[in-house]
Structure 1
Amino acid sequence: MRLAPLSLVISLSLFTWQAHGQDTNTVSSIQAEIDVKQSEFKELSSVLDKHLKQEKQLQEQLELLRSRSISLEKERNQALDAMNDLYRRLIEDPTLNISAAQARYQKAISDLQQNKDDIDLQLVAIASHRKDIEAIRVSKHTLVNTLESLKQQKNTARVERLRNEFTREGTVEVNHTVNCKRTETLAACEQRGQSQGLQKATKRFMDQIFANITEQRVVEPKRNMSGAQVQVLSSHVVSSSFSGQGNYNTNLSVTMRGEVNASRLCNLLNLDNSFCSDYGSAIPNVYQPVMNATYNEPVVRFKDNKNTPSSTSMVTNRDTVQVNTPKKERLFQLTLRSNVRDDEVYINGVSYGSTRLDVSLPAGNYDIEIRKSGYQTYTRRLNLKRSQTVRANLRKETISKSNVNQPRSTQPSNSNTSSLSARNLASTSGMVVIPAGEFEMGDLTGNGLANEQPVVKKILSASYAMSEKEVTVAQYNEFVAETSYQTEAESGQGCAYYLNGEPVWEASLNWKNPGYEQKDNFPVVCLTYSDAKAYADWLSEKTGNEYRLPTEVEWEYAARAGTRTDYPWGNDIGNNQANCGWCGSEWSNSSPAPVGSFSANRFGVYDTVGNVWEWTQKTAGRSDVAIRGGAWNFAPTLARASTRLILATDFRANYIGFRLVRER
């Protein structure tokens, strides 16, 4: 018998609109704050541009005054010569009038002195103007970090809002009519009608959830990837009846709650998965409508019943519909990732293949090992109580520097300019060879700041050696112990630290006491450009080789290591791959990490992403300097390979350090 047309009346009331409204308000309030900060940043940029133009004008005026000094000096000398000539003639002719020559000389002296005074005043004005520029630049770089941090918060709030929108509760009333088949009993027809009504109710409930998602246009195209489910909290028959034509009509009231695979929320919103790292739990074993491939309708699956040949059954009476689910041992998903390829994963001594690996396991203790030849084995004892992700960082086994081969260039290089052997070039401990090559410098992905444009092709015609790690506290201490050097933080007003989005100066802070607990293998911080340069000069004299800070071109080329992405591993920061704010490491937003705590890039250089900002070489004719690489307390978006912040050379903070290059 053909099914009669279905009659479906839906009454849907969602219980969590208030919470949804709060989530939306949170996202909106963060966006409003972003708008305010962006406006402040734009205004600050405009003020800085104005100050830079004024400084240029002051410099031009200074050059004019200096040029005038040359002319005035020449006039004074000429006036002096003329007066001396008249004095000689006055000896022979006492009646000679020399007053005009005296007046000329007096005026030349006066004009020259006035010009010198004007130069002094101009220098004072320029110095004062530069202080204002330095203050504006510091405000800009802190405002940039505040902005990027707010964007992080907004994305986190977007994920939480979407999760709450998926997990709403609501009640659906379904009025459903079906024709009973001649071959089925009334009880079977009743069960089928209620089952189909329940299926339609869950589908409509899920449709309503997707229809009311705030970012529905973003999420809807990925609906089939959402892992969204429906949990039936309760269901009862409001009324039911049989008609004389063999129709069964039932009115169901179903209370449901949505469920979502929270680890997929980031993909739905086109966000980096790091924003969903807190949502590691699997969905509980609840009622789930399975979509019918032909009609795109949910099929409700129930517990097996021995009394029926069908694999579905429903326990019913006149008032309730009870959904029974199979009782199974609960499994949790264990996701294993590592920083290398072709490794091998062992769980309790059994090989499970290589990462990336996803495996479902019951709760309990597990011994995890991830092995790869040439790397130290990663081991961890894990008490699995919920679904979670383990990210292993395998470190290369320590080998002699003399056995390290020179890294291959990512671009063809001139053999005449790169003939110096890697062994000689990197003879100083802690240096690696950066091969000759070419690259595009600047914001390649469109995620950067204005000062990262335009993208420019750069060619490095010769290889060079660079510190594989940032200069450490122990290394700087050796320099200070030998020279009794006193840093500017120790002799001046101390060192800045980051508090509530602003650098705050603390007189007691310096490289020995940066405001957090540090060890000898931490990167040295609280140093000015001159403090870093003094170390390079000392090392040059001590070793007989010439060391200096890297240029911006050298730094970015080494940081990119042949890649075109924001980070060495891609355009997403990921989780626990570097030490920056909200990057998921144990040091994030707390302190720098010991140098080399994370994997090196393809050139063998560590910590070009985060840990501490690094000074670069000052460009000729400029009074300011760029720092590169991001830091432990700055947003991940500021740790990209092309990010550059401009600071005065005497600025120092507990998030700025340095590394060196060695001249050929």
Structure 2
Amino acid sequence: MRIAPLVLSAGIFSLGMAAFPLYASQVSELDNKIQTKQAEFDAYVNGLEQIRSSIKQDKDELERLIKLNTTLEDKRKSALLDMDKQYERLVADPSLDISASIEAYQYALQAQSLNKAKVKAQKTLLASNQDKLANSKMTQFSMLNEIENLKERYNFARVERIKREFGQGGKMEVSQSIACGEDVTFKQCAEQGNDLAKKTASQMLTNKLFQNVTEQALVAKHRDTAAAGIKIVDEKVLESGFSGQGDYSVKMLVEMQGRLPQAQACRLLSLDYRYCGVNADVADMGDFKEVEFSSQQNEPGMYTLTVRSDQYNDEVFINGKSYGASRIDAMLPPGEYKITVKKPGFHPYNTSIKLSGAKTVRAELSRLVVNLTPGQKFTDRHSDGTASPAMVAIAGGRYKVGDLQGRGLGNEQAPNDVNIADTFAISQKEITVAEFEKFVNETGYQTSAEKGRGCAIYESGAPEYNANLSWRKPGFEQSKKSPVVCVTKDDAAAYGKWLSRNTGYQYRLPTESEWEVSARAGSRTDYWWGNNIGAGNANCGWCGSRWSNNSTSPTGSFKANKFGLYDTVGNVWEITEGSPAVVRGGSWNFAPSLARASSRLEISSSFASNYIGFRVVREQ
């Protein structure tokens, strides 16, 4: 088949340009906001240097005063010794004038007392400036989070803009001629000519869309690896016919609509696939199916397998697949099945059955004696027999921590090795509302927020206190399985002490090293699964879950890391032991870049907010 040259009729092709000015304006507006906020942030960081300089001067002055106190104490003792000797001489000679010795001692005593007062005042000033720095760092972090959130909105707006740009349509008039072979019928030749005209029109629209896109230079680099789709909306043959030599000519009016399938926008803009609602592993395989959740439907010809156990909050596995806690009723086809029932603190129950009709399996679990064997999952018991938080044991040893990828902030630790002396256990999930409520109900404990100024919320780029908020009412709906929030470091420590008394084991807050080792689960990447946050992997700002930027999520709503810990990325910042107080892991309303394993946020020990919670450690 010989293809004759293509002829396009001028003046017919047009694009609907009015579909996306809103998104173009949003991108520009967000870019300007980012630049403005970045300038404000840089100025604020420079201001922090003045506070740090003051703290250094305060420390130097305190050190000087403490050294001076030693000198003045020596002078006081010397003056006292001299005065005592003068009094001894006065006994032998009552006419002796010892007023000079008395005055010297009084002067030395006053000098020392005055210096002690200065030491006390200097300590108060240093503590005040250190607290001021801690609060300023929170403000700094809040400003940074605002910038990161703007960047998230900026990238989402860019994706929406390019999708709108590639979603334009128009009409094109094309003239096409082809020469068909002798073995092709007239009908087949005409169909081939018409198809070729439509394909050519589609290619011309594709070229036009790539030429008109806003980020043309960036998009052009990735054109070969991404594809824009063209849908033929309507077609109309205006003229057609065959020549004496058998050539077929057609003039056709083609109406088309462009579209950019799922991950293609992110490919063209070099963005993480989560901005397009697609998981990276799926996108890399070329399968651009959007992230979605679905449920299985029962099919006819299947049987009911019922599994019960003698324990609550267990987990039933059928052929390795989790079906949740018993009792479960699974609709399955006939065949052989392996059933496992697990619960922390108990030996797993295993059995195999052949399903040829409705069947019930009753599992009995025996208690497991736990000695903190690395990797062991267990649950201690309260004095009333109820379960305490589920734990997982982490082996002692040397671990790599810190900003291993080199993308950290100034307050993050440089890459280094830490030595964990002994095996310890850490709670698999953040302490929940239900677990904290049990503590409050049994002890009558009142949190700092309930006794003081309430709980801080993140608004307008900074934390603001609301006297009406507490862990019972944090400003959004919480379930019993949600992580408890609006608690201070002291509140968390009080819970740990109560848990220790109630179980007979030593519970406390994790150190920063213990927390990071547990969160990384052996990884050296920004997140335990890799360097990209992905879509729907965690509850953090702009992380693609239904809770992102709205509220906490029930603990365990996302996959556990390789050590079996849930929500070490996002949901709530988690309090660690140390001075100053430091929280780790990011939260539901902070940007993904601040939920990396090495990210740190220094806070005041009295700070409570609805984006901070905690988990606990149990010692060997």
In the superposition, the TM-score normalised over structure 2's length comes to 0.77
Indicate the residue corresponding to 1:133 in structure 2.
133
Indicate the residue corresponding to 1:200 in structure 2.
200
Indicate the residue corresponding to 1:653 in structure 2.
609
In structure 1, give the amino acid aligned to 2:432.
Answer: T
Indicate the residue corresponding to 1:325 in structure 2.
none
- Contact persistence 1:426–1:465 (CA under 8 A): no
Q: 1:375 aligns with which of 322, 326, 345?
A: 322
Counterparts of residues 371-410 of structure 1 (less than 5 Å): 373-376=320-323, 398-403=342-347
What is the alpha-carbon distance in structure 2 between the residues aligned to residue 6 and residue 195 of structure 1? 13
Is residue 507 of structure 1 aligned with residue 462 of structure 2? no
- Contact persistence 2:176–2:250 (CA under 8 A): yes
Counterparts of residues 291-306 of structure 1 (less than 5 Å): none
Indicate the residue corresponding to 1:432 in structure 2.
392
- Residue 633 and residue 255 in structure 1: after superposition, are their counterparts in 2 closer, same or farther (change >3 A)? same
What is the alpha-carbon distance in structure 2 between the residues aligned to residue 76 and residue 590 of structure 1? 64
Structure 1 residue 106: deviation in Å? 3.1
Indicate the residue corresponding to 1:363 in structure 2.
none
Indicate the residue corresponding to 1:156 in structure 2.
156
Deviation string 1:136-189 (CA, Å, 9 cap, x unpaired) is 112122122212211221121111011111111234454656679999999998
Q: 2:584 aligns with which of 623, 628, 636?
A: 628
- Residue 5 and residue 480 in structure 1: after superposition, are their counterparts in 2 closer, same or farther (change >3 A)? closer
Indicate the residue corresponding to 1:104 in structure 2.
104
Structure 1 residue 512: deviation in Å? 2.9
Counterparts of residues 25-424 of structure 1 (less than 5 Å): 25-174=25-174, 196-220=196-220, 222-223=222-223, 226-233=226-233, 254-277=254-277, 348-349=298-299, 373-376=320-323, 398-403=342-347, 421=373
Indicate the residue corresponding to 1:537 in structure 2.
497
Q: Give 3-state SS (helix, strand or coil) of 1:578's partner.
A: coil
Deviation string 1:87-144 (CA, Å, 9 cap, x unpaired) is 3323443443334323322321332233133223323322332342133112122122
Structure 1 residue 592: deviation in Å? 2.2
Deviation string 1:230-271 (CA, Å, 9 cap, x unpaired) is 234455678899999998877655443212323543344343
What is the alpha-carbon distance in structure 1 between the residues aligned to residue 372 and residue 192 of structure 2? 83
In structure 2, give the amino acid aligned to 1:635.
Answer: A
- Contact persistence 1:374–1:397 (CA under 8 A): no
What is the alpha-carbon distance in structure 1 between the residues aligned to residue 182 and residue 36 of structure 2? 70
Indicate the residue corresponding to 1:608 in structure 2.
568
- Residue 191 and residue 562 in structure 1: after superposition, are their counterparts in 2 closer, same or farther (change >3 A)? closer
Is residue 444 of structure 1 aligned with residue 404 of structure 2? yes
What is the alpha-carbon distance in structure 2 between the residues aligned to residue 466 and residue 624 of structure 1? 22
- Contact persistence 1:442–1:454 (CA under 8 A): yes
For these two proteins, the number of residue pairs brought into alignment is: 557
Q: Give 3-state SS (helix, strand or coil) of 1:402's partner.
A: coil
- Residue 436 and residue 82 in structure 1: after superposition, are their counterparts in 2 closer, same or farther (change >3 A)? closer
What is the alpha-carbon distance in structure 2 between the residues aligned to residue 336 and residue 134 of structure 1? 42
- Residue 195 and residue 593 in structure 1: after superposition, are their counterparts in 2 closer, same or farther (change >3 A)? closer
Q: Which runs of 5+ in 2 are unaligned?
A: 280-287, 302-316, 329-339, 350-369, 382-387
Identity within the alignment, %: 41
In structure 2, give the amino acid aligned to 1:553.
Answer: S
Structure 1 residue 221: deviation in Å? 5.1
Q: Give 3-state SS (helix, strand or coil) of 1:513's partner.
A: coil
Q: 2:433 aligns with which of 464, 470, 473?
A: 473
What is the alpha-carbon distance in structure 1 between the residues aligned to residue 130 and residue 449 of structure 2? 20
Deviation string 1:481-513 (CA, Å, 9 cap, x unpaired) is 444443322232221122233211012322333
- Residue 165 and residue 87 in structure 1: after superposition, are their counterparts in 2 closer, same or farther (change >3 A)? same
Structure 1 residue 596: deviation in Å? 2.7
What is the alpha-carbon distance in structure 2 between the residues aligned to residue 196 and residue 519 of structure 1? 60
Q: Give 3-state SS (helix, strand or coil) of 1:403's partner.
A: coil
- Residue 187 and residue 650 in structure 1: after superposition, are their counterparts in 2 closer, same or farther (change >3 A)? closer
Indicate the residue corresponding to 1:642 in structure 2.
598
Deviation string 1:287-317 (CA, Å, 9 cap, x unpaired) is xxxxxxxxxxxxxxxxxxxxxxxxxxxxxxx
Indicate the residue corresponding to 2:619 in structure 1.
663
In structure 2, give the amino acid aligned to 1:606.
Answer: Y
- Residue 108 and residue 583 in structure 1: after superposition, are their counterparts in 2 closer, same or farther (change >3 A)? same
- Contact persistence 1:159–1:265 (CA under 8 A): yes
- Contact persistence 1:226–1:261 (CA under 8 A): no
Q: Give 3-state SS (helix, strand or coil) of 2:322's partner.
A: coil
In the superposition, the TM-score normalised over structure 1's length comes to 0.73
Q: Give 3-state SS (helix, strand or coil) of 1:565's partner.
A: coil
Structure 1 residue 18: deviation in Å? 4.5
